[in-house]
Amino acid sequence: MKKVQFKSYYSQYFFLAPQLLILLIFLYWPIIQTFKDAFTMQDAFGFGSQFAGFDNFLFVFSDPSYFTAFKFTIIYSFVITLITGSIGLLLAVQANKVLHGKNVYKTLLIWPYAIAPAVVGVMANYFFSERYGLLHHLFNNLWGFNWYEDVFDAYIYVIIAGSWKQISANFIFFLAGLQAIQKTIIEASIIDCKSNIRRFWTITFPLLMPTTFFLIIINITYAFFDTFGIIDTTTIGAPGSETKTLVYKAYIDGFKGLDLGSAGAQSIMMMIIVLFITIFQFRYIEGKIHYN
């Protein structure tokens, strides 16, 4: 906060009012509704509802498909973070090194960042369709690819679709992180250590730690929430429901299955997960990792 501030009885509220009003109506009202749904049970015909305690949560926990979705979401975030992070870092290191054409590479590598996940999904659809799909044919020739029956093949499908555009985001942030490292540190390290590879892992990579942690959070959030459009335009959860993320499952149960209680309980569990990620982010990123 500023040391010098305006003293006024009402004008601060004039500045805060528009945002608070929008948040109150379009955010807090639905959130309160979510909590209400999670703790009430509606009868099958939607005529009445009654307080249900933790019954909805118990129902979700006893549902094996919730754990399938949980497992897939964890695997999906882990693999996407690993693939996009390492390819993004590799490309950023190369782009930072080259003397000629740096800006051309940069521009041509960052534009997929702007494409909507749902559009990427529709595109991936064509490459994995039995009729036109180049990747479908390629994988089919290699080991008999069949994503609507084989779980592993379906994983490959959604992982490729989900990773493609996220490589750009990782590239942008790693490149910015590399460019922020002071030239003098790099020059000094060249004198001390001749090996390029060793110098990268002992000097450059530790200096990139804040960027890396920031990107891990960004990638996990992406895999949890933004991939909705990708799942909904590619496998729709196929083969059975093995490629449904937690968010996608909550949507299907609530909007298609009209089970508000279960969807509400699932949303609250997601909020708790997000809360943990955020606490982790604050403690480890803001507190511990400071090399600059």
Partner 1 sequence: MTRYISSTINHCILLIGLLIMIVPVWIIFASSTHSSLFINTNGLQFFLGDNFIENYSRVLFKKSGFFNEITALKMFFNSFVMASGIATLSVITSLMAAYGLVYFKIKYATIIFWLIFITLLVPLELRIMPSYIVMSKLNLVNTFAGLILPISASAIATFFFRQFYKSIPDELLEAAKLDGTSSWKFFIDFLVPLSKTMIAAVFIFMFVFGYNQYLWPLIMTTSEQYWTVVMGLKTMYGSISDRFAFVIMSMIPPVVIIVFLQKLFIQGIFQNK
The whole-angstrom separation of Cα 1 and Cα 122 is 46
Start-to-end CA span in the chain (Å): 24
Q: Using the minimum distance from each CB to partner 1, give the nearer residue, 76 or 151.
A: 76
Q: Using the minimum distance from each CB to partner 1, give the nearer residue, 151 or 160.
A: 160
Q: Using the minimum distance from each CB to partner 1, give the nearer residue, 151 or 221.
A: 221
Q: Using the minimum distance from each CB to partner 1, give the nearer residue, 110 or 151.
A: 110
| The token pair that represents 85 in the structure block | 């992070």
What are the Cα distances from residue 142, in Å, to 61, 132, 158?
39, 17, 18
Residue tagged 């493609």 (tokens): 164
What are the Cα distances from residue 119, in Å, to 80, 91, 178, 244, 281?
18, 24, 31, 18, 30
Residue tagged 């249900």 (tokens): 52
DSSP assigned state of 144: -
Q: How far is the CB of 204 from partner 1 (least distance, A)?
A: 15
Q: Using the minimum distance from each CB to partner 1, give the nearer residue, 155 or 249.
A: 249
What kind and span of H or E run contains 50? strand 49-51
